[in-house]
A and B are shown apart, each in its own frame.
Chain A
Amino acid sequence: GAGVSQSPSNKVTEKGKDVELRCDPISGHTALYWYRQSLGQGLEFLIYFQGNSAPDKSGLPSDRFSAERTGGSVSTLTIQRTQQEDSAVYLCASSAVAGGNNEQFFGPGTRLTVL
């Protein structure tokens, strides 16, 4: 009965380095979402995956951001050449299927600090 898990819980990196953030969704959930929470921007959608369909990447802020979902389960969000404005809490969520009539369950987040 595990919920959504994310790792690492905290990540400190230097400007210009690449980082990878991991998300393990609730078992059996076919939809997986990434959001970002920052002081200036609030909670923003980044990307979501539904089964084997092409992901909705419309919320990714730049081409430095990418995400993969392997085997329909674990997802990795990669940020290349990190900038200080990338500092935020990155939240992952999953739902049974995509769509508004299914609640999204959130993980504890990864706090990213770019120095």
Chain B
Amino acid sequence: AQKVTQAQTEISVVEKEDVTLDCVYETRDTTYYLFWYKQPPSGELVFLIRRNSFDEQNEISGRYSWNFQKSTSSFNFTITASQVVDSAVYFCALIGKTSGSRLTFGEGTQLTVNP
């Protein structure tokens, strides 16, 4: 069985603040893939990043960074200097090697960035 938990239902910050979205996962697979998707008010899920279980290097892309720690089964997402356009629901998701190709999503975190 697989599970993804995003404990933060809603986060509200003021523009230019840094914000971290937490993601904790459970899987029995030793090979698995982790994802983050953004769902803006328009509704379309936008792919942000994919990591595989053998690559624990942190990744930075502009104002976005991801911290993958297998020891704590976490894959956290940080937005630096947040902007109003970052307001969206963010989903963490998992595919385990033995679970086919289905994405298992967390509950999502609603991020609101206020001007």
* Chain B contact patch, size range: 20 to 34
Is B70 at the interface (CB under 8 A from chain A)?
no
Residue among A33, A45, A59, A104 having the largest count of chain B Cβ atoms under 10 Å: A104
Please determine whether A104 and B43 come into contact, CB atoms closer than 8 angstroms.
no
Distance (whole angstroms) from the CB of A14 to the closest CB of chain B: 24
Residues in B neighbouring A91, C-beta threshold 8 A: 45
Known: A42-B105, A101-B50. A56 touches B45 (CB 8 A): no
Please determine whether A42 and B100 come into contact, CB atoms closer than 8 angstroms.
no
A65–B47 CA distance with the chains assembled, in angstroms: 27
Which chain B residue has the least Cβ–Cβ distance from A98? B101
Q: Is the interface of A mostly helix, strand, loop or mixed?
A: strand
Distance (whole angstroms) from the CB of A95 to the closest CB of chain B: 8
Within 8 A of B (CB), among A58-115: 58-59, 89, 91, 93, 95, 98-101, 103-109
Within 8 A of A (CB), among B99-115: 100-108
A64–B93 CA distance with the chains assembled, in angstroms: 27
Which B residues have a C-beta under 8 Å from some C-beta of A?
Answer: 31-33, 35, 37, 42-47, 50, 52, 91, 93, 95-97, 100-108
